[in-house]
Structure 1
């Protein structure tokens, strides 16, 4: 491909649940090209799989679209990086060719393996053990590794971010001794931001990405969204709200959590990105109504006449671990709009509880909060969340994990301008800054306290966290 423009750009590729997204981004955050291609999900009860061959086909389509849009304005492609869904795993042969379908992050079949490993079923290691038992020998491979192998034409290491939920010890930067019995089944691991290789000629023809383009080790989609938010300095946090809710922050040291609810990714520069994933989110909203219209109508119900704990799927992972948890509603919504409002508010209450838990653990919390994810497109929900949380929040122009991978590619190739937070500062554009409205925050104090009480009564929320939350809530009330 010939380039005629003057800008250097980086390509970020996001392997999502519903689609693959590619963004071509310059050093100042200008998006020169974007492409997307849908993915098919195979669901049956607790089973959730995708076809790895479809991942590659979608990457080719999305990349070609992005490259086609941006080619006239690009002088060179500095590099690319790929993110995938955290905990999605499959088996491949010695040449990197898939032997199984990919078991997605929420595939729930590895219950026995999870119990043996002392992990949640959503983590990759239990699913990898299930695959090895069901299909026999194979190489444990994470979702993006399939794509980077295709791009480079060779089997390459995985990144420590995706390997974390396969049991990788991010502090020692090694596989733990208790997994030694798996031997060569486990891949070699490098830090995110490491150069893996270059786009080979065959991949270039399929994707439209120039041969020789550096391929940089990526991170999970949650970490990619965090990079895209610019929340990379200690004390900053990013709240990713889509089907479910993920909070990730930045810290100079790991945030310790004996309950295993919060886990710590290793940042490319060696610092830490602690966070957790809740099962509440937009996936709990009713299907069918127009979201924009419902947001307008929901504004009349602050607070809602009903209190909802809006799990998108059974079981909770953050801010507490309760596999038996189920969604519930206290009271009866008076209308469809009231029911919609109850879900929006319930998600925000849980988000506040997540932040209270992080405070309880002693995590640094003094930096900015950013909203990303598909739900951040809702201006009403963004303001509601800021009101319920009682703290300011930023919303970037681009809320795509693919942007985070473009930033990481610029950092990894050493051409983006220094440290990762500095590169992100140049490439991430903040669209809106939301200020909480004190009178609105006060409206939600009582229903938030009721939700905390109910979660504790049901035995899901540990009493020490409930007590800490009430203490903070009382302090906030006194201060206001």
Structure 2
């Protein structure tokens, strides 16, 4: 289609001449640590749109206001009303404006930038002129018909993350097969695909067809180019793709005059490219150097490792997001806290953990699973749980379970290294398992590296840090432009 070559891709901006990739990536995440050139004392804002928490059965949005030194200044939450027929787009939009209304509790004139994170592969078709929603949003976990999945497999490289039945690309193909976007085009509604975070940001800055490397990954975007591959651009629906795909944190533009009047935010408040909720949580943890990782210990566990090299392996469900000049390599296991809850309640876990000598290895060789099947670090849909023998002392049994999960975690990081990722040097922990100090001790012993609790586990905080980074990058670029043309010369937007 004629529009397919209009894709403008923001370049990697973080590597400085003569510096290692690690330094560049650290600058990407923590520019606020050494950039003190803001004269207004602003506190960049994030609006977190993590919509459906299946474990807690809550629907919520969250906003963090973060000071220039990275400290949390304010935390706002907005719940969605339970409904069997919830209009998701309306709920997100309502929550967005309600969260912005809550900012009266802080000095809104100090807010210099904002960024939004959203749930991966949650997307919709919208009118690129009016931002009207043209199709009901498809949520992150909405599996698509086999015909759509096969159509993507027919064009994408084998094992590509976009071939998953819940990917944004499969959803776009479903809309193509149903004639949804074609009908809208006949009606001159100019359809385009936007992810959840893209659309909410567009409501604030007024421009359409902007996305980011992380949200666009499961749409087929290749962050290694960066750009869309030819196998995707040659498709008849390529004109629906977001045209401008930026590095997370890149300053897109300022909010509209209407947004400023409605919210009380300053007219020069920047809207920065966002990310996915899981990547925002990783950024919130404070990881800055290759080899550092975050393990999320919930009902199951997921690992994300900052690596100098990209790793993608469909057999193990491993794929890499690009952040600055680094790669966020991740995988997820079926083991985790759920198996503990099969045997013990919260009070029992606290009492029994207190009786464990975490310095001594357990003699038990468990692979804790709630049911058969594992995906990573072992790809075996028939792998059986290994939970015997069970000792008479429940504390010994729990010790074996905790160490069993730790052994699987260690195997996961070894698998990433075997596939080419940077070796593990440090682990930060998010999720409920982070509260168990004995488990942390066991994991550190088994992993052979320091294990600490993440100081910030909320994705909202991570997106706020992206907003900080985007603000300072924008100001530095503006300062360079002013130096070159002291009589004026505009900004970078």
Task: Tell me the TM-score normalised to structure 2 length.
Answer: 0.70
Task: Decide whether the 8 Å contact of 2:127 with 2:134 is kept in 1.
Answer: yes
Q: Distance in 2 between matches of 1:244 and 1:43?
A: 27
Range with bigger deviation, 20-29 or 363-372: 363-372
* CA drift at 1:166: 1.3
Please state if 1:153 is matched with 2:206.
Answer: yes
Q: Distance in 2 between matches of 1:345 and 1:247?
A: 17
Please state if 1:351 is matched with 2:406.
Answer: no
> Taking structure 1 as reference, are residues 129 and 245 closer, same or farther at Cα in structure 2, changes over 3 Å only?
farther
Residues 400-433 of structure 1: CA deviation (Å, up to 9, x unaligned):
12111111111112269989xxxxxxxxxxxxxx
1:56 pairs with one of 90, 93, 113: 93
> Taking structure 1 as reference, are residues 28 and 70 closer, same or farther at Cα in structure 2, changes over 3 Å only?
same
Which position in structure 1 is the counterpart of 2:140? 105
* CA drift at 1:245: 2.7
The two structures, once aligned, show a CA RMSD in angstroms of: 3.7
Which position in structure 1 is the counterpart of 2:489? none
Which position in structure 1 is the counterpart of 2:240? 185
2:368 pairs with one of 297, 301, 309: 309
Q: Any idea what SS the aligned residue of 1:161 has?
A: coil
Task: Decide whether the 8 Å contact of 1:216 with 1:409 is kept in 2.
Answer: yes
> Taking structure 1 as reference, are residues 177 and 392 closer, same or farther at Cα in structure 2, changes over 3 Å only?
same
Please state if 1:8 is matched with 2:42.
Answer: yes
Residues 327-373 of structure 1: CA deviation (Å, up to 9, x unaligned):
84533767998887776555433322211211211311253222224
Task: Tell me the TM-score normalised to structure 1 length.
Answer: 0.72
Task: Decide whether the 8 Å contact of 1:90 with 1:131 is kept in 2.
Answer: no
* CA drift at 1:60: 3.0
Residues 217-254 of structure 1: CA deviation (Å, up to 9, x unaligned):
01112221222122232222222334543322223332
Q: Distance in 2 between matches of 1:39 and 1:7?
A: 33
Unaligned segments of structure 1, at least 5 residues: 420-480
Task: Decide whether the 8 Å contact of 2:255 with 2:271 is kept in 1.
Answer: yes
Please state if 1:252 is matched with 2:308.
Answer: yes
Range with bigger deviation, 108-117 or 158-167: 108-117
Q: Any idea what SS the aligned residue of 2:44 has?
A: strand
Q: Distance in 2 between matches of 1:349 and 1:279?
A: 13
Which position in structure 2 is the counterpart of 1:413? 471
Q: Distance in 2 between matches of 1:418 and 1:385?
A: 42
Unaligned segments of structure 2, at least 5 residues: 1-38, 54-59, 154-158, 182-190, 478-493
Please state if 1:176 is matched with 2:211.
Answer: no
Q: Distance in 1 between matches of 2:346 and 2:269?
A: 41
> Taking structure 1 as reference, are residues 345 and 337 closer, same or farther at Cα in structure 2, changes over 3 Å only?
same
> Taking structure 1 as reference, are residues 362 and 300 closer, same or farther at Cα in structure 2, changes over 3 Å only?
same
> Taking structure 1 as reference, are residues 402 and 252 closer, same or farther at Cα in structure 2, changes over 3 Å only?
same
Range with bigger deviation, 394-403 or 296-305: 296-305
> Taking structure 1 as reference, are residues 28 and 90 closer, same or farther at Cα in structure 2, changes over 3 Å only?
same
Task: Decide whether the 8 Å contact of 1:261 with 1:320 is kept in 2.
Answer: no
2:172 pairs with one of 124, 128, 137: 128
> Taking structure 1 as reference, are residues 69 and 216 closer, same or farther at Cα in structure 2, changes over 3 Å only?
same
* CA drift at 1:144: 0.5
Q: Distance in 2 between matches of 1:193 and 1:109?
A: 31
* CA drift at 1:206: 5.5
Q: Distance in 1 between matches of 2:172 and 2:165?
A: 11
Q: Any idea what SS the aligned residue of 1:100 has?
A: coil
> Taking structure 1 as reference, are residues 68 and 418 closer, same or farther at Cα in structure 2, changes over 3 Å only?
same
Which position in structure 2 is the counterpart of 1:330? 387
Task: Decide whether the 8 Å contact of 1:225 with 1:240 is kept in 2.
Answer: no
**How do 1:239-388 residues align onto structure 2 when only pairs under 5 Å count?**
239-255=295-311, 257=313, 259=315, 261-267=317-323, 269-282=324-337, 286=341, 291=346, 294-300=349-355, 303=362, 307=366, 309-310=368-369, 316-321=374-379, 324=381, 328=385, 330-331=387-388, 344-388=402-446
Q: Distance in 1 between matches of 2:342 and 2:83?
A: 20
> Taking structure 1 as reference, are residues 230 and 120 closer, same or farther at Cα in structure 2, changes over 3 Å only?
same
**Does 1 or 2 have the higher relative contact order (CA < 8 Å, sep 6+)?**
2
Q: Count residues in correspondence.
A: 405
Which position in structure 1 is the counterpart of 2:123? 89
> Taking structure 1 as reference, are residues 358 and 288 closer, same or farther at Cα in structure 2, changes over 3 Å only?
closer
* CA drift at 1:325: 5.3
Please state if 1:31 is matched with 2:72.
Answer: yes
Task: Decide whether the 8 Å contact of 2:426 with 2:449 is kept in 1.
Answer: no
Task: Decide whether the 8 Å contact of 2:309 with 2:421 is kept in 1.
Answer: no
Please state if 1:198 is matched with 2:235.
Answer: no
